[in-house]
Amino acid sequence: MHRPELVKLTFGAGVLMVLVLALTACGGSSAQEEQANKENADKVHHIPEDPQVYEGKPLPAGSYVTEEFRPTMSFSLSKGWTRGGTELRDALDMRDIENDAFWLVFTTPEEVYVPNGSGGLKIVPAPEDIAAWLQENPYLKTEKAKPTSVGGEKGVQFDAIVSSVPEVPECYDCPDLGLFHEIAGATAGVEKGEKLRFIVLKNVNGKTVTIMVETTAAGFKQFTAKSQKVIETVEWKGT
C-alpha cells in the first residue's frame, strides 16, 4: 500500500487548493481595487473643508468642481496634491503633498496690500489691472508678460522673484510679503527668495482671476510643469 503517497497527494491537493483560492482572492482584490479607482476617477469631487480631518492628506485623483469660489470652475487633479486653505468666494488653493511650500492658488482679490510709506503694508481696494499692479510691485522682480489663455479666457502670464520684503511684516504669522487680503481676513502672500508664476485673466464672468504658482527657484521648473497640468484642465462654468 502506498498510503504515505496518498497522504502526500492529498496534502499537495490541499496546498494547490489554498494557492488557487489565494490567487483568486488576490485577483478579486486587484479587480475590486481597479474598479474602485475607476469609480473614484469618474466621481466629481470637491475640496474638503475640515482641516483637522483632511490636513496633509492626499486629494483623490479625478475631476473637481468648486463650491464657494467664484467664478465657478472645474479642473482635474492627478495624484500628489493636498488641500491648502478653506475654499472661499475669492480664494482656492492646493499644495504639493511632498512640499508644503509649493502652492497653486486661484484668487479673485477684492483687496490687496501696498506699501504704506513706513516700511510696512496697508490694505486698499484691488486695482482694475492686477497684472500691472503685480509688475509694479517694488518687492517683486518680474519678467515681461506674454499672452496666454486658460479655459478659453485670455490673459497674460509672467514669472517673478520675491527680491525683497517689507521691513515690518503685516502680522506675526503672516508671509514675508502680503499680496492679497482675503474676505475671511487672512493674508495671502509669499516668502523672500521664492520664484512665482502669475497668470492674470482679465474678465472671467465679470471677474479678474489671478492664478499664482508659488515655489522655489530650485523647484520652479518641476512644480510649474505639475501645476500647468492642472491649469490646462480648467473649465469655467457659465462662460
- Taking only the tens place, the pLDDT of each residue in 98-126 is 999 999 999 999 999 999 888 889 999 99
Supply the pLDDT for residue 27. Answer: 52
pLDDT at 81: 96
Peptide bond into 71 cis (omega under 30): yes
* Annotation: CATH topology of 48-236: Protein Transport Mog1p; Chain A (3.40.1000)
**Cα→Cα distances 41→22, 45, 108, 148, 178, Å:** 28, 9, 28, 29, 36
Q: What angle do CA 18, 19, 25 make, to 5 degrees?
A: 90
pLDDT tens for residues 31-51? 555 554 555 556 788 887 766
Alpha carbon 158 to its chain's center: 19
Q: Cα 36 from chain centroid?
A: 24
Kindly state the average pLDDT of the residues 57-78.
95
Look over the chain and give the mean of its residue pLDDT values, rounded to a whole number. 84
Residues of the chain by 3-state class (helix, strand, coil), percent to 5: 25, 35, 35
Q: What confidence score (pLDDT) does residue 18 get?
A: 39
> 131: pLDDT confidence band, cut at 50, 70 and 90?
very high
Under DSSP, the state recorded for 144 is P
pLDDT of residue 109: 95
Residues contacting 138, CB < 8 A, separation 6+: 115, 164
pLDDT of the residue at 13: 44
User: What's residue 151's pLDDT?
Assistant: 97
Question: In 10 A of CB 173, how many CB atoms?
Answer: 8
Tens digit of pLDDT for each residue in 155-184? 999 999 999 999 887 777 889 999 999 999
User: 232: helix, coil or strand?
Assistant: coil
- Is it the case that residue 219 has pLDDT exceeding 60? yes
d(CA 147, CA 158): 9
Higher-pLDDT residue of 171 and 236 is 236
Residues 162/186, Cβ–Cβ less than 8 Å:
no
